[in-house]
Structure 1
Amino acid sequence: MALLLILHRVADYEAWRKVYDSVSDMPVFGGIRRESVHRMVGDPNNVLVLHYFDSVDEARAFTTLPELKEAMQRAGVQGEPRFELYE
C-alpha cells in the first residue's frame, strides 16, 4: 500500500470541492483505493488530500496525469501542489 499526500492552496474551497467530486469517478483515477480530504484549521483554503494506492508506482504515475493537472487548474489550485509519497 502506498500513500500519496497532496497539499495545495485553493482560491475557493467550495469551488475546488465541486471539481474534485466531479472527477473522482473518472476511470483514469481508478487506482485510488481510499481517499480523504482535510482543510487546515484557521485556513480553510489550504487543503490536504490523502490518496491510497496499491503501489508507489501507481501513486507516482497518478501525479503525472494530464487529467489531474487540468482538473487542478479548473478547480483553482494556486501555485504548485506538493506531492509526497509514503509506503
Structure 2
Amino acid sequence: MPYLLVKQRFSDYTQWRTAFDSLDGQRTALGLDLVTVTRNMADPAEAVVLFRFDDMDQVRRHFPSPELEEAHRRGGVIEGSTQVTFLREAEAA
C-alpha cells in the first residue's frame, strides 16, 4: 500500500489543525486514510502528516486543489513550506 507524507510549516498550530481537520471529508472521499499527525520535535512549527491510500491517480488530482489551497490560507501555512512525498513500503532484503 502506498503512503503520502506531507510536511508543512505554520504560524499557529491550533489554526493549522482546525484547517487540517476541516478537510477530513475531502480526504475520505479521495481514499486517504490518516495514519498520524506529528510535530517536529526540533521545530514545533512544522507538522509531519502520514496517510495511506490505494489510488495514486485519485490522490494526485488533489494536489493542488482550490479547497486545499484555501485550507492552507486559513491554516496559516507558510508559503512554499509544503513538501509532498509519495512513498511505498520497502521490500524485505
TM-score over 0.5 for the alignment?
yes
RMSD: 1.5
- Calculate the TM-score normalised by the size of structure 2: 0.79
SS of equivalent to 1:79: coil
Identity %: 34
Shift of 1:12: 0.6
Which structure features the higher share of strand residues? Answer: 1
Shift of 1:10: 0.4
Matched, 1:84 2:82: no
Shift of 1:35: 3.2
1:7-86 to 2 correspondence within 5 Å?
Answer: 7-25=7-25, 28-29=26-27, 30=29, 31-80=31-80, 81-86=82-87
For structure 2, the 5+ residue unaligned runs are 89-93
Larger Rg: 2
Distance 2:38 2:5 in 1: 11
Distance 2:63 2:35 in 1: 15
For structure 1, the 5+ residue unaligned runs are none
- Tell me which stretches of 4 or more aligned residues in structure 1 moved more than 3 Å: none
- Calculate the TM-score normalised by the size of structure 1: 0.83
Which structure features the higher share of helix residues? Answer: 1
